[in-house]
Amino acid sequence: MTGLPFPSMPEASRADAMEGFVRTHRARFEAALADVLPMPAGLPPALPQAAAAALGVKGHPGSRWRPLLTLAAAQACGGEDSAALPVALAVELTHTASLILDDLPSMDDSPLRRSRAATHLEVGTGGAILLALSLLGRSAELLGSIPDSGGALAAEWGGAFGIGGMCGGQAVDLTGAFADGGSPRRLHRKKTTGLSEFALKGAAIAVGASAETEAGLARFGRDLGWAYQLADDADDWVEDGQFGKGPAGRAPRRQSLRLLIRSLRTLRATPGLDAQGRVLLAALAERTAGATAGTPESEPDHERWGMTA
Amino acid sequence: MTGLPFPSMPEASRADAMEGFVRTHRARFEAALADVLPMPAGLPPALPQAAAAALGVKGHPGSRWRPLLTLAAAQACGGEDSAALPVALAVELTHTASLILDDLPSMDDSPLRRSRAATHLEVGTGGAILLALSLLGRSAELLGSIPDSGGALAAEWGGAFGIGGMCGGQAVDLTGAFADGGSPRRLHRKKTTGLSEFALKGAAIAVGASAETEAGLARFGRDLGWAYQLADDADDWVEDGQFGKGPAGRAPRRQSLRLLIRSLRTLRATPGLDAQGRVLLAALAERTAGATAGTPESEPDHERWGMTA
């Protein structure tokens, strides 16, 4: 990892610090997530089961990189993790809602999610839509109830998933208009970056960080979200056997790494973060975008990171 | 209308006051609604058109009874209408989102809405889902941005449309479990009453009314919403030729009237409303539930209202 913008801590200690944070916070987060959606009496019983499966409360939980970044960012701002926990939960609920909707026959028509049948195969398309909306409703409750900053958080969140955010991006995705470049392409990225930006920015708002810290973390989250998406797409192409071995085929991975590096530079330039928190965020970012990107065996690390040692 | 709980003002003056309010506020509301959803560059052009049609900004606008009640309630609390305008807009956006989703093939599979093709026939099922979600995202932005009470409003709104509100009620509707009575039946009502309750309660929160005023207006909105739904269902049954002429067939209308009367009694008992505002709310309530209920020609008014003069 030589050459990355955080050389001050030995890689091994950095990894240890991150693993410790992930272990502790992930356990707490999973426990909170399991109780986050109170089910009203009278609801068809298939819905609570489908909700638990979609959230990964039972079965495969997913990496939870977004909510972990939210908690780490709150800590890096010198805030309490507990203040950002409702933001972290809302981020994961909103992410899960987007997965349920993405898998619908009218969207990507995908039968599998998190190693299980997609939600609409369990409770029908109508049930899946209602479940996704319920996760969004609960997100609004969680965010709006945060003292002092609840209104600002709810407003930011609404923008993140609305027509200028995830929904607009997915609409461009559906029509394929992103291939034209320009404004459709920029809007298309918001499908992914809307929520990753909110995951970081929301932490700053919840703990009352300065506007400069908020803006820096927002930019960090935006670049990191897109870096993750490009790496993830590249992995899918490999699985599908569509990923070329030539220079053109490697372009998404290289772009992902460029964005990861830019996000780390932004992090270094963001004021109001403590040193330990900054290192933790950097390590989580590398894990998020880097781990997914994978490396052809023959490629040395310094080439993998797109720079010479 | 003899015997209704607001005998203090002659019916003609009451009707004039209401008509004046509706004329002024409706025009302002329509103008605000037309500009409420800024469309990002790069969006497929069919979506803004479908949004305008779904909201009734172009074409048939619907009665707008919910947002008008929101504005009237804010005024009755002694607040500024302008403070409640974002609430009124969010209420109509959320209502429209629910209509778009209700019409989907996986829900009621309805080809027509507001005298036009349903949204999914214009932009596909995926586009319709994304548009509905965008209206919800914009609602969160509007509510969260209201000074002081934005967090509380966003949280209430999330509960109103979430699993314990509109979504839960619609889930019961889809499965038909409401016919069993008990808790499924109670949850089913929230499909309608979730939003009508929020339309009134949200006005109280936005203008900083007391907890007693808020609770009274919430109850008023809940009963009125269900009164409206029963009257509306009865009308549909008449249109479909399914509505019996015998006592059983008239049951929904009688129940609607009973609920309207209960809502008016609640209104009279709610503290913190000025006299003029109370009369205005009562007149709007009668129009909402009463006008829709219709009257067999042969039935005298006092029988229509379910009580003797």
Cβ-Cβ pairs closer than 8 A, A with B, add up to: 244
* pLDDT in the model for residue A240: 60
* pLDDT in the model for residue A300: 31
Of B40, B130, B186, the CB nearest to A187: B40
Sign of CA dihedral A235, A236, A239, A242: negative
Q: A177, B42: Cβ pair inside 8 Å? A: yes
Does residue B40 lie within any of the structural domains?
Answer: yes
Better pLDDT: B9 or B31: B31
Chain B CB contacts of A194 below 8 Å: none
Chain A CB contacts of B133 below 8 Å: 101, 133, 136, 161-162, 167
Helix, strand, coil share of chain A (percent; to 5)? 70, 0, 25
CA atoms of B202 and A234, how far apart (whole Å):
47
Alpha-carbon gap: A283 to the closest alpha carbon of chain B (Å): 32
Which residue has 């509960």 as its token pair?
A: B159
DSSP B115: T
Q: A129, B130: Cβ pair inside 8 Å? A: no
Does residue A90 lie within any of the structural domains?
Answer: yes
Name the average pLDDT for chain B.
87
Percent of chain B exceeding pLDDT 90 equals 72
Q: A170, B141: Cβ pair inside 8 Å? A: no
Chain B CB contacts of A155 below 8 Å: 140-141, 143-145, 150, 154
Chain B CB contacts of A104 below 8 Å: 125-126, 129
- Domain region containing A23: 11-304
Chain B CB contacts of A142 below 8 Å: 158
Does residue B1 lie within any of the structural domains?
Answer: no
Amino acid at B32: A
Of A130, A141, A157, the CB nearest to B171: A130
Say whether pLDDT at B50 is over 50.
yes
Say whether pLDDT at A231 is over 50.
yes
* pLDDT in the model for residue B239: 62
With b for 16 or more beta-carbon neighbours within 10 A and e for fewer, the B171-188 pattern comes to bbbbbebbeeeeebebbb
> Beta partners for B112?
B117
How many helices, marked H, and strands, marked E, lie in chain B? Answer: 13, 2
Does residue B244 lie within any of the structural domains?
Answer: yes
Given a contact cutoff of 8 angstroms between Cβ atoms, the answer to whether B103 and A84 are in contact is no
Claim: this prediction has a pTM higher than 0.80: yes
Q: Provide the 10 A C-beta neighbour count for residue A57.
A: 16
Substitution target from B133, B135, B139 for chain A, most A beta carbons within 10 A: B133
Residue in chain B nearest A103 by alpha carbon: B126
Alpha-carbon gap: B21 to the closest alpha carbon of chain A (Å): 30
Q: How far is CA A106 from CA A102, A126, A187, A258, in A?
A: 8, 12, 20, 34
CA dihedral B104, B105, B107, B110 (to 10 degrees): 70
Farthest-apart Cα atoms in chain B, separation = 62
* pLDDT in the model for residue A307: 26
Say whether pLDDT at B5 is over 80.
no
Query: How many domains is chain A partitioned into structurally?
Result: 1
To 10 degrees, what angle do helices A182-206 and A81-102 make? Answer: 150
φ, ψ for residue A117 (rounded to 5)?
Answer: -65, 140
Rounded to two decimals, the ipTM of the complex is 0.90
- CATH code of the domain containing B28: 1.10.600.10
Say whether pLDDT at A304 is over 80.
no
Does residue A182 lie within any of the structural domains?
Answer: yes
**What are the tens digits of pLDDT across the range B166-185?**
999 999 999 988 888 999 99
Of B101, B151, B163, the CB nearest to A150: B151
Alpha-carbon gap: A206 to the closest alpha carbon of chain B (Å): 12
Taking residues B232-239, what's their average pLDDT? 72
Q: What angle (nearest 5°) sits at the alpha carbon of residue A123, between those of residues A119 and A129?
A: 65
Chain A CB contacts of B157 below 8 Å: 140, 144
Does residue B136 lie within any of the structural domains?
Answer: yes
Say whether pLDDT at B4 is over 70.
no
Of residues B26, B138, B151, the one with CA closest to residue B93 = B138
Q: B152, A144: Cβ pair inside 8 Å? A: yes
Tokens of A86: 């409702």
Given a contact cutoff of 8 angstroms between Cβ atoms, the answer to whether A98 and A39 are in contact is no
Substitution target from B43, B49, B180 for chain A, most A beta carbons within 10 A: B43
Q: A104, B126: Cβ pair inside 8 Å? A: yes
**What are the tens digits of pLDDT across the range B253-278?**
889 999 999 999 999 999 999 999 99
Alpha-carbon gap: A143 to the closest alpha carbon of chain B (Å): 7
Does residue A203 lie within any of the structural domains?
Answer: yes
Q: B42, A167: Cβ pair inside 8 Å? A: no
Alpha-carbon gap: A280 to the closest alpha carbon of chain B (Å): 30
* pLDDT in the model for residue B8: 61
Does residue B5 lie within any of the structural domains?
Answer: no
**What are the tens digits of pLDDT across the range A119-161?**
999 999 999 999 999 999 999 999 999 999 999 999 999 999 9
Amino acid at A74: A
Say whether pLDDT at B91 is over 60.
yes
Residue in chain B nearest A155 by alpha carbon: B141
